[in-house]
Amino acid sequence: MIGSAVSLICALILWSVIGTSDLSKMRAAFLLGGIVPLLLAFAASFSTSRLIQKNQYKTLAAGLTFYLKDRLLAGTFAALLFFFIYSLSLLAFPASLEPFLVWVFLLGVSFDLVRLCIRRSLRYLQLPFLIGKMEEELVHAIGNMDEKRAFELLSIVIEACTTAMLKKKIYVATSLLSAIQRLTEVYVQELARVELQGRLSPSGEGGPSFFDKVNYLCLYVCERLEWMNENAIRGSMRPVAIEIMTTFGRLSLFFSRHSPDLAIHPLRFLLKCAHEAQNIGEQEIVTRSILALSETCKAFIRLSQAKNQSFKGLIFECLSTMEEIVKMVYLQNKEINSALLIQPFAEIGEFMGTKQALTCPDRDEIFNALRRVFVQFQSLQMVTSNMEEVITSAQDTSSSFQEDLPFITRPDEGQGQ
């Protein structure tokens, strides 16, 4: 708007000082003033498109497509082309003061348009802006029942996240993981809106129902997150793997608002990813998976109280998954401090005593489940300790081996013979 304001002031000043006879000397200015803004806009557009192609691994592969389809940029170029044609028309007709003053004002407007074009073009190099464009495109695809296009958009983001991981771009990869979660949520929300409009087939009437579509989407996203988690662990991208664990928890919480059966899928995939991390020896990732489950469990408890609705199945699924991971960690490393392993369960117990969980529908059953976990873990620890004592005692009394079992030959004696 600065160029428009300055050109308007200049036009008002020239109105009082310039004469018609002076306009015939300004034909070169008309031509130059008309073509310069247009050339600047084209130069900015060409440079930005090259940068988008060069830096696709930092943004999205669809960035150039969105850029070429931008209606605001198309309107800007149309306006600059109109100004160029208007400037040429002043060369063809006799000079007069009024068209010249209009030209001066439009010259300032054209430079404002060039500035707008450059700023708009540079936004296509920013990841958050491109993610917003992806959301708009996804909403449009679901509204047109074009699910093939919707899954293409999800695949583009997943592929971009994988590429960022291969290039060790942690910030880009974690940002794209958040984008995957956000696009999944938008997909389900728009699908629910389409269902309310009666455009989806009810269950059992030919086409897939809303639940079928969302169930497929949930498994589709979780499978790819599992694959990405394997790549992140093997590629020493620990922050990305931790973010994937957190994403599973968030997806489970989101899907629980539509169907508790769907919310179980992300929890089970999280367990598989924790096993993968434990097998490779990434203890920190395993610990973060336990914390992610703990926070997800608390979120289910809050949601249960807020809606006054039972989410017992999901809460128990979180607790059982945590229990399995904790046992896995303990059995692999019995020297670990047991208090650290049961701390997430203790935190859930403390949370149950706060105002956020006082009226939870399944409060007593959750407390019983927590007590069972504590007792079972103490029993496991006691059994393991007793087994170690038995083994130690057996090693100390190895001299009575032949006396107790004379019909068995000791391995060292067999080799000597």
- Per residue in 113-136, pLDDT tens? 888 888 888 888 888 888 888 888
> Who has greater pLDDT, 406 or 345?
345
DSSP class of residue 202 equals P
pLDDT confidence band for 204 (50 / 70 / 90) = very low
- What was the pLDDT predicted at 182? 92
Q: Quote the distance between the C-alpha of residue 352 and its chain's center.
A: 30
Q: What is the pLDDT of residue 407?
A: 37
Pinpoint the alpha helices (H) of 237-362.
238-256, 260-280, 283-307, 312-332, 338-352
Are 234 and 190 spatial neighbours (Cβ–Cβ below 8 Å)?
no
pTM of the model: 0.75
Q: What is the pLDDT of residue 146?
A: 83
What type of residue is 66? F
Measured over the CA atoms of residue 380, residue 382, residue 385 and residue 390, the dihedral's sign is: negative
CB atoms within 10 A of CB 294: 21
Consecutive H or E run containing 187:
helix 170-196
User: No. of H helices and E strands in the chain?
Assistant: 17, 0
Token digits for 173? 């990869």
- Distance CA(162)–CA(344), nearest Å, equals 31
More confident residue, 301 or 100: 301
According to the model, what pLDDT value does residue 147 have? Answer: 83
Report the SS3 class of residue 142.
helix
For residues 355-362, average pLDDT? 81
- Provide the residue ranges of all domains of the chain, joining segments of one domain with +: 2-16+28-123, 240-381
Residue 383: pLDDT band with limits 50, 70, 90: low
pLDDT classification of 270: cutoffs 50, 70, 90: very high
Which region among 226-230, 341-345, 360-364, 376-380 has the lowest average model confidence (pLDDT)? 376-380
CA 271 – CA 289 distance, rounded (Å): 8
Is residue 355 scored above 50 in pLDDT? Answer: yes
Burial (0-12, 13-18, 19+ Cβ within 10 Å), 238: middle
What is the distance between the alpha carbons of residues 1 and 214, in angstroms, rounded to a whole number?
47
Please tell me which residue, 10 or 154, carries the higher pLDDT value: 154
Contacts of 42 (CB under 8 A, 6+ apart): 77
Judge residue 291's burial from the number of C-beta atoms within 10 Å of its C-beta, 0-12 exposed, 13-18 middle, 19 or more buried: middle
415 pLDDT band, cuts 50/70/90, is very low
Distance between CA 189 and CA 191 in Å, rounded? Answer: 5
Q: What's the mean per-residue pLDDT of the chain?
A: 77
The 3-state secondary structure of 286-320 reads HHHHHHHHHHHHHHHHHHHHHHCCCCHHHHHHHHH
Greater confidence, 54 or 247?
A: 247
Crossing angle of helices 312-332 and 338-352, rounded to 10°: 160
Most confident of 27-36, 94-103, 176-185, 304-313: 176-185
Where does the pLDDT of residue 8 fall: very low under 50, low under 70, confident under 90, or very high at 90 and above? very low
Looking at residue 247, what is its pLDDT?
92
Which residue would you say has higher pLDDT here, 407 or 312? 312
pLDDT, residue 205, reads 55
- pLDDT tens-digit profile of 37-83? 778 888 888 887 787 777 665 556 677 788 888 888 888 888 888 87
**Sequence letter at residue 382:** M
Distance, CA of 276 to CA of 228 (rounded, Å): 12
Alpha-carbon distances of 263 from 268, 270, 300, 303, rounded to whole Å: 9, 12, 11, 13
Q: E-strand spans in 149-228?
A: none
User: What letter would DSSP give residue 183?
Assistant: H
Distances (CA, A) of 391 to 157, 174, 409: 54, 47, 20
218 or 34, higher pLDDT: 218
In this prediction, residue 337 has a pLDDT band, given cuts at 50, 70 and 90, of: low
For the cut 80, the answer to whether the pLDDT of residue 1 exceeds it is: no
Residues 190-215 have a mean pLDDT of 72
Q: How confident is the model at residue 387, as a pLDDT?
A: 46
pLDDT in tens, 14-24: 444 444 445 55
